[in-house]
Amino acid sequence: MGKENLFSFVSLSLFILILICFFLPFTSITCAGEKVATLTGTDLAFGTQIKYYDETNFSAKKQRNIDPEWPATLSFILISAGILLTIFSILSTKKSNFYITLCILSMLSFAFLLVLKFKLDSDVSNQYEALKLKYEPAYWVSLILSVFISIFNFYLFVSKKSEVT
């Protein structure tokens, strides 16, 4: 295995790790210090239903649909595309074109994850005063790894270009 394929495997591993994080809790919703619900990244990306107890009758469970959040959906799609593109880069001989594309994909994913946080914070604070959002480690790992992948692939792109000249 060449050095370039090793770098591609590092990118692939990190993209897969981010995708795994989407299946873990991204946010917890609390009310008066009590956890009401936990949403995974895929719940945010594709929507879900949460069940909760009615505040007037604690024995009656209610359901609420959570609509998909477009920043989470786009980030999920970009990470999935990054996985596929990294696999293609392992099979390709022209690595530098893939490095810059992976850099852009991961930076866009980072941006959408930030937009997701600001959107959720705004939505919850505007609609529900008593509810608080807590961002779980999987969200932060996804955010940090997106930046890391972007920097890593940009470095590989720049170093590959300097080898050519």
Question: What residue ranges define each of the domains in the chain, with the CATH number in brackets?
Answer: 3-159 (1.20.140.150)
More confident residue, 31 or 10: 10
pLDDT at 68: 94
What pLDDT score does 119 carry?
Answer: 95
Residues 6+ apart with CB under 8 A from 48: 39, 65, 66
Residue-level pLDDT at 52: 65
Q: Which residue has the tokens 């591609």?
A: 8
Q: pTM for the complete prediction?
A: 0.86
What is the percent of the chain with per-residue pLDDT over 70, rounded to a whole number? 86
| pLDDT of 36 | 81
pLDDT of the residue at 165:
52
pLDDT above 90 for 97: no
Count of other CB atoms within 10 angstroms of residue 20: 13
Q: Within 10 Å of residue 145's Cβ, how many Cβ atoms?
A: 21
Quote the distance between the C-alpha of residue 111 and its chain's center.
Answer: 10
Mean pLDDT of the chain: 86
